[in-house]
Amino acid sequence: MTERSAAELQDEARMIEAAKRDRNAFAALYERYFDQIYSYCYYHSGRREEAEDLASETFQRALEGLEDFEWRGIPYSAWLYKVASNLMSKRRRRPPWIELPDPIAGSGENDPERLWLRREQGDELHKAVRTLPLDQRDAVLLKFEGRLKNKEIGVIMGRSEGAVKLLLFRAVHGLRRRLHEQEKR
């Protein structure tokens, strides 16, 4: 990477100010830096899909935090790399996917009709959980499968206890809605 000229840095500062006034102008920053950030994410993750997700989330966070960004004469890409680095660190701390256990295993029930009904309900729940956003899915699995407290989940996910409560509330609300919709069918 070559050092930027003063004119390039001033041009970048103008692009940032334009994006602060008009969100559509952020596209120029996206076009300018996406390949660099994607390459950085790919180098660290080694997987195309994960690199795409990380790069996209980096730019989503950059857009959300644009109003708070203060120009200090340092290339905008340095800030983007920091955002991407933080996201990768957070993903590395995130626990791996936890599969829901088979709801019938060890149930001790012998009534075929009840077993069938429980299996159907378990399948619907599994499907509904898989549709949740990743952070909500992780929180639900850690809470109900891992039997962890909200504070412990917060430490694992790098969030406050209040943020975990909100994630769980939204997840449970979404699951209830999905399961209720499926019952209507």
Dump pLDDT digits (tens) for 147-180: 778 887 787 778 898 899 999 999 988 888 888 8
Question: Going from the N-terminus, what domains does the chain have, and what CATH number goes with each?
Answer: 6-93 (1.10.1740.10), 112-184 (1.10.10.10)
CA distance 182 to 185: 5
Instruction: Write down the pLDDT at residue 146.
Output: 66
Contact between 167 and 139 under an 8 Å Cβ cutoff? The reply is yes
* Helices and strands in the chain, H and E counts: 8, 0
Evaluate if residue 61 carries a pLDDT over 80: yes
Q: Where is pLDDT greater, at 44 or 1?
A: 44
Read off the pLDDT of each residue in 7-14 and give the average, rounded to a whole number: 85
CA distance 165 to 53: 25
